[in-house]
Amino acid sequence: MSDKERVIKLLDDVPSYKLGFLIAYMQGLIAAEEPNETTYAAMESAKNGEDLYGPYDSISALMEALNAET
């Protein structure tokens, strides 16, 4: 059975009240765009352990650090 056939088969088991969530998720998958060069560079930096900040113990500590960088 192909992945597409499995998705269609599973659709029969999705409760009707959850279909809106499924539609929104699927629309997001279809609309997803290829990351740009800046995003790829940031992903590569993170993979190499570069330009990482934190960890932060609280949201307020994170926000303080974000505001300090501007």
pLDDT digits (tens, 9 = 90+) for 23-61: 999 898 888 788 899 999 999 999 999 988 888 999 999
* Predicted model pTM: 0.41
CA gap 70, 59 in Å, rounded: 17
Q: What b/e sequence results for 5-21 when a residue is b if at least 16 CB atoms lie within 10 Å of its CB, and e otherwise?
A: eeeeeeeeeeeeeeeee
Q: What is the C-alpha end-to-end distance of the chain, expressed in Å?
A: 52
